[in-house]
Amino acid sequence: MRFVFLFILLPFFFFGQNANDSLSSQRYFEDQFYLGLSYNFLLNQPEGSSQRNLSYGLQAGVIKDIPLNLSGTKAIGFGAGLAINSYYSNLVANISNDVITYSIDDKIKRSNLESHLIEFPLEFRWRNSTLEEYKFWRIYMGIKAAYIVGARSKFVSDTTSDGFYNTDISKFQYGLTLSFGYNTFNIHAYYALTDLFNGDATVNGEVLQYRPLRIGLIFYIL
């Protein structure tokens, strides 16, 4: 299920390739699709909290590229995509009578929070590409808004395993983005400006104020 969203976007990739063939020789568009893989950090962790295992993120989407000058080196990009973000830590979520409580437990084998999002990136783009040059430097910066369609908490110990849909997650999230690199491989970073939890979640009397920082690779495709 985690990779189903990648296949959903495949028809858009083939459509985009056909569209590029019809572009005027005097104007061109860049980077209309993206695929990304990241490591997810949790900032503002409460006392005693720590990350474990591999917290990862996957993202894919389509972007409309609008050049701002005739040379095409400056542009605005806006689009939509899907993402999965997973966070492993020693924070354990439990639910009883529809009430979710949190604790920190260093003895568990694994504790995971996974979220599924619809994302809406908006970028200011600079690149030194030309109509004939497909290998070029790029710097893209902007903001990304997201709506979480579902989140699930799960933990595994020596004696039990439990999971449930977590409703304490903030539905609307946004943050700053930066991508830079040359040709195929590009570094991508996302810094959240909103908390991961909605403000009702606490552990040991402390409000959970996790803020994600995601750093990884992003691949742009014409």
Q: pLDDT digit of tens for each residue in the chain (222 aa)?
A: 444 444 444 444 444 444 344 444 455 666 688 999 999 999 999 988 999 889 999 999 999 989 998 888 899 999 999 999 999 999 999 998 889 999 998 888 889 999 999 999 999 999 887 777 667 899 999 999 999 999 999 989 888 888 999 999 999 999 999 999 988 889 999 999 999 999 889 998 899 999 999 999 999 887
CA–CA distance, 32 with 72 (Å, rounded to integer): 14
Q: Model pTM?
A: 0.83
Residues 6+ apart with CB under 8 A from 129: 30, 72, 73, 136, 138
Sign of the torsion formed by the C-alpha atoms of 188, 189, 195 and 201: positive
Give ∠ CA 177-209-170 in degrees, rounded to 5: 70
Bridge partners (DSSP) of residue 82 are 60, 118
User: Helices marked H in 115-201 — which ranges?
Assistant: none
Instruction: Take residue 35 and report the two structure tokens written for it.
Output: 């695929």
Distance CA 4, CA 8 (A): 7
Pairing of strands 202-203, 206-207: antiparallel
* Kind and range of the H or E run holding 9: none
Measure the CA–CA gap between 37 and 27, rounded to whole angstroms: 31
Q: Give the model's pLDDT for residue 112.
A: 94
Q: Which residues contact 28 (CB under 8 A, 6 or more apart)?
A: 72, 131
For 4-10+31-90+113-151+166-201+208-221, CATH gives: 2.40.160
